Amino acid sequence: MALLQKPSGEALAAVRGPAGSRAGGPRRSGARRRSRARVNAQVVLALVIIAAFLALALFAPLIAPYAPDAADAGQKYLPFGSSGHVFGTDEQGRDILSRLIWGGRTSMVVALIAVAASTLVGATLALVAGFSGDRVAGLIMRTIDVMFAFPVIIAALAFAIILGPGLTVVVLAIVFVATPYVTRVVFAEVKRHRGREYVEAAVSLGAGFWSILFREVLPNVAGQIVVYATGLVGAMIVFSSSISALGIGVQPPEADWGRMISEGAKVIISGNVTVALLPGLVVLVVALAFNWLGDGLNDVFDPHKRRSRS
């Protein structure tokens, strides 16, 4: 029976430690601080990378040492580190560094514009579907399911046939790809907020359908929309590069990272690796930076993660 006795206050204090703290508390708080510092450093690094590439793209005419389409047949395939061409030259003697700088103008800007359009369309459809009746919501979401199932390459080829290859095809293809994902994510968030007290209060006060959507619900889901769209930019930069690599996106001689990868891939076997490797690394770094930024923003906007790290 002595084993069932209630432990004394001294025994509890000995287990909990000073000031009633639990064992392992300092260790957990130290781990949280390290985790928070890691996330902050990741966000700062992502912002630095994105800002640097955007600045290079914006000031390309001032920064690039050569014009992007300036060819010199006598300087084909100069190796990395060559005098006057730090990153070497391609199959037409064009400076790879200059083309990388100018290529950011198409690859990054097109992806940003297309993702912004996709976010606007997808979020609007999700808001309407989340607060409409079953018929309207079913029509919208079944259309989104069809877009999910439709082969992306076929859609891009259809746009190219109708409009001709070019930047417009890349933008439309990205919008076609990204809109269903944005709609699905935002629709799930809107459904979670549909029964909240602030929505019921707005309804009881006589607020209209559109007023509830854009004045009440949208501000509460905007954080998740921004987080998802930010991470989506990185994926769409990769996707836009693949569209251009197929030859139905940006057309030569305009500089584009995807086009550079496609042209460089043809000569990799001959040993000219840097022609395709360098634009591939640039796409990888920029895409990772946007994904890191999205992860960091998720920690900022998600209250549960904020509390767990505090």
The average pLDDT across 9-37 equals 53
Beta bridge partners of 95: 89
Residue 241 has pLDDT above 50, yes or no: yes
For helices 274-301 and 96-130, give the axis angle rounded to 10 degrees. Answer: 30
DSSP reduced 3-state for 85: strand
- pTM confidence score: 0.76
Q: Name which residue leads in pLDDT, 297 or 270.
A: 297
| Per-residue confidence (pLDDT) for residue 17, from 0 to 100 | 47
State the average pLDDT for the chain: 80
Topology of domain 33-69+83-309 in CATH is MetI-like fold (1.10.3720)
The residues spanned by each domain of the chain are 33-69+83-309
Q: Name which residue leads in pLDDT, 97 or 262.
A: 97
| Per-residue confidence (pLDDT) for residue 26, from 0 to 100 | 59
The average pLDDT across 86-109 equals 89
pLDDT per position as a tens digit, 29-64? 666 666 666 667 888 899 999 999 999 988 999 999
Structure token pair of residue 6? 């209630």
pLDDT per position as a tens digit, 273-285? 888 889 889 989 9
The average pLDDT across 110-114 equals 89
| Per-residue confidence (pLDDT) for residue 4, from 0 to 100 | 46
Residue 221 has pLDDT above 70, yes or no: yes
| Per-residue confidence (pLDDT) for residue 192, from 0 to 100 | 83
DSSP reduced 3-state for 273: coil
The lowest-confidence range among 16-30, 108-122, 205-219, 228-242 is 16-30
| Per-residue confidence (pLDDT) for residue 37, from 0 to 100 | 63
Residue 16 has pLDDT above 70, yes or no: no
pLDDT per position as a tens digit, 139-155? 999 999 999 888 888 88
